[in-house]
């Protein structure tokens, strides 16, 4: 009887769990499918509010409007550069900072850890940060999109925790063989940290891909805009209340609705990340457990 109750309880839990996960998937997929459907639907169907899961009609004019923008490929190239260089700099500097903090004998370990923790709760503010960046002559440069966000206290603490859980014998034996700390970090610790690096590389790439506020504040040259900043500008230009005469005539000639452009913009924004995720999924799933073990 007891075995029967346990078997029934297990089956009931599985039914509830699967039902909940299916419901959760529907809730998460609907906005994505609705966005895709609106981007492909005819303007008349969008105006009448008939679009939900599937497109009503078939209309690629929203995508044509976006891809006919001559600055699109420039902005896409800029974003790839910002994401690649920014992620590399972030992983390198974070590793270099976390490594000494993982060693018990490091004298300044406690002071630097406290200093890092304070920065998680208090910031200098936008105006002092802008004045500092202008003083450093970083306005309108590649480095203004890379350096300010290169070090995060949260990232350093996670890296430190991971390094602390690596066997101490690895470092001790490497020292006995004549290796210095730089060699140990880059030849031993980082090769053992693929899940950690892949997880935070994904976070860094997504953050750089979605970033636009830094460009709005620190970049004046439109040829240096990331793709999000350019798409934001295109959405603003095609907003019904702010559309100029030239843009209005172009949109009318292409038989477009403002939502066609907005939703097509969203799809163009998220698709590259959706394609990237499967390649990093295995490392990402294992990397999400990092920090759950007490260091």
Using alpha carbons only, give the angle 130, 136, 140 rounded to the nearest 5 degrees.
70
Same domain as 147, residue 102: yes
pTM, to two decimals: 0.76
pLDDT of residue 281: 64
pLDDT of residue 295: 42
Same domain as 68, residue 194: yes
Q: In total, how many domains does the chain have?
A: 2
φ, ψ dihedrals at 91, nearest 5°: -65, -40
Cβ neighbours of residue 87 under 8 Å, at least 6 residues apart?
201, 204, 205, 208
- CATH number of residue 173's parent domain: 1.10.3720.10
The encoded tokens of residue 62 equal 């929203």
Give the dihedral sign, CA 99/103/105/111.
Answer: positive
Q: 254: which DSSP letter?
A: T
Same domain as 22, residue 73: no
Q: 70: which DSSP letter?
A: T
Contact 176, 199 (CB under 8 A): no
Same domain as 69, residue 146: yes
Same domain as 213, residue 68: yes
pLDDT of residue 1: 52
Same domain as 71, residue 19: no
Q: 179: which DSSP letter?
A: -
Same domain as 75, residue 20: no
pLDDT of residue 294: 44
- How far apart CA 155 and CA 91 sit, in angstroms, is 9
Boundary residue ending a domain (41, 59, 77): 59
Q: For each successive 10 residues of the chain (295 residues), what is the average pLDDT?
A: 60 85 87 85 76 80 80 86 92 92 86 87 84 90 88 89 86 84 88 85 85 88 86 71 54 65 80 73 59 47
Cβ neighbours of residue 131 under 8 Å, at least 6 residues apart?
none
Same domain as 268, residue 201: yes
Same domain as 130, residue 1: no
pLDDT of residue 280: 64
- What is the domain extent for residue 21? 1-59
Burial 172-192 (b: 16+ CB within 10 A, else e): eebeeeeeeeeebbeebbbee
Same domain as 158, residue 15: no
φ, ψ dihedrals at 201, nearest 5°: -65, -40
Same domain as 86, residue 49: no
- How far apart CA 116 and CA 97 sit, in angstroms, is 11
Contact 284, 198 (CB under 8 A): yes
SS3 for 249? helix
pLDDT in tens, 190-214: 888 888 888 888 888 888 888 888 8
pLDDT of residue 49: 75
Same domain as 132, residue 50: no
- Residues in the chain, overall count: 295
């Amino acid at each position: 009887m007891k075995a029967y109750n346990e078997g029934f309880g297990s089956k009931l839990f599985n039914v509830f769990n699967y039902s909940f996960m299916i419901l959760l998937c529907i809730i998460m997929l609907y906005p994505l499918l609705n966005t895709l459907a609106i981007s492909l639907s005819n303007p008349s169907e969008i105006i009448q509010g008939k679009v939900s899961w599937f497109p009503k009609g078939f209309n690629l004019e929203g995508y044509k409007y976006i891809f006919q923008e001559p600055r699109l490929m420039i902005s896409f190239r800029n974003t790839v550069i910002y994401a690649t260089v920014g992620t590399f700099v972030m992983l390198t500097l974070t590793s270099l900072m976390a490594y000494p903090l993982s060693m018990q004998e490091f004298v300044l370990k406690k002071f630097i850890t406290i200093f890092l923790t304070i920065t998680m709760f208090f910031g200098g503010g936008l105006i002092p940060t802008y004045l500092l960046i202008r003083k450093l002559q970083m306005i309108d440069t590649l480095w203004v999109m890379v350096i300010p966000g290169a070090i995060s206290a949260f990232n350093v603490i996670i890296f430190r925790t991971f390094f602390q859980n690596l066997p101490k014998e690895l470092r001790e034996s490497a020292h006995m063989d004549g290796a210095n700390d730089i060699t140990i970090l880059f030849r031993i610790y980082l090769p053992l940290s693929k899940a950690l690096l892949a997880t935070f590389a994904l976070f860094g790439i997504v953050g750089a891909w979605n970033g636009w506020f830094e460009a709005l504040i620190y970049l004046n040259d439109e040829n240096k805009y990331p793709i999000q900043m350019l798409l934001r500008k295109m959405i603003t230009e095609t907003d019904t209340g702010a559309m100029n005469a030239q843009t209005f005539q172009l949109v009318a000639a292409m038989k477009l609705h403002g939502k066609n452009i907005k939703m097509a913009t969203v799809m163009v924004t998220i698709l590259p990340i959706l394609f990237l995720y499967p390649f990093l999924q295995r490392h990402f799933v294992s990397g999400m457990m990092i920090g759950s073990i007490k260091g």
